[in-house]
Amino acid sequence: MLRILLIRPGETDYDREERIQGTLDIPLNDEGVQEVARLVEQLAGHGIEVVYAPTSQPAKQTAEAIAKGLGVKYKRLERLQNVDHGLWQGMPIEEVRQKQPRVYKQWQEQPDNVCPPEGEMLSEADERVRPAMNRLLKKHREGAIALVVPEPLASLVRRFVNQTELGDLWKSVRSHGQWELLEVEPRKVPVSAP
């Protein structure tokens, strides 16, 4: 059995302001650095062998600090960059809700059917998640690894591993600096998972 500690990067100023970050590289703020220090304490004793993260600045900063704090390797994952929210990137979530109420509601209820203006569909992000996760599951069949990815990509990873629904992606962006444990039998995760 493989244990994946799915970790959200620490807080950025965009998180604090409830802005849509998407693929923008925003550094951790002071609270984010403190959250990561707390994460290191919480994750000690979980037997993490390696910390994986995409190249986005908050994920990389979080992963490097965790790896250093736990005395394990940090490895980059090129294909797990966050969902490109196009013209929504940098906008406050509340502004999207006010200016595009139907699209906002649809993103809550059926996010797979929404494409942010000049952004990407979740199905496109899934096309990156599936092969990246399949490679990790082939490489790690047991033990514990940490995976630092921002929302909503973390929700896509959880859906792939657990075969569950996505949930409200607007609320999930507030989960910075948190982690959850996913236990998976790699042979039981279908290669063609949604």
| Domain extent for 54 | 2-188
Write the pLDDT tens digit of every residue in 103-122: 888 888 888 888 999 999 99
Residue 22 is assigned to a structural domain of this protein = yes
Residue 194 is assigned to a structural domain of this protein = no
Write the pLDDT tens digit of every residue in 129-170: 999 999 999 999 999 999 999 999 999 999 999 888 776 666
Write the pLDDT tens digit of every residue in 33-81: 999 999 999 999 999 999 999 999 999 999 999 999 999 999 999 889 9
Residue 193 is assigned to a structural domain of this protein = no
Q: In the numeric block, which tokens belong to residue 180?
A: 């959850």
Residue 183 is assigned to a structural domain of this protein = yes
**Number of neighbours of residue 190 by Cβ within 10 angstroms:** 11
If you average pLDDT over every residue of the chain, what do you get? 90
Residue 179 is assigned to a structural domain of this protein = yes
pLDDT at 193 over 60: no
Q: CA 49 to CA 21: how far, in whole Å?
A: 29
> For helices 153-162 and 122-139, what crossing angle results, to 10°?
60
Residue 81 is assigned to a structural domain of this protein = yes
Q: CA 62 to CA 10: how far, in whole Å?
A: 6
The Cα-based distances of 173 to 21, 71, 94, 136 in angstroms read 9, 29, 13, 24
pLDDT level of residue 176 (50, 70, 90 thresholds): confident
Question: What total number of domains does the chain contain?
Answer: 1
List Cβ<8 Å contacts ≥24 apart for 151-155.
Answer: 151/8, 151/175, 151/176, 152/82, 152/83, 152/111, 152/122, 152/125, 153/54, 153/80, 153/81, 153/82, 153/83, 153/125, 153/129, 154/6, 154/8
Residue 17 is assigned to a structural domain of this protein = yes
For residue 147, the domain's CATH number is: 3.40.50.1240
pTM value is 0.91
Residue 151 is assigned to a structural domain of this protein = yes
Per-residue model confidence (pLDDT) at position 36? 97
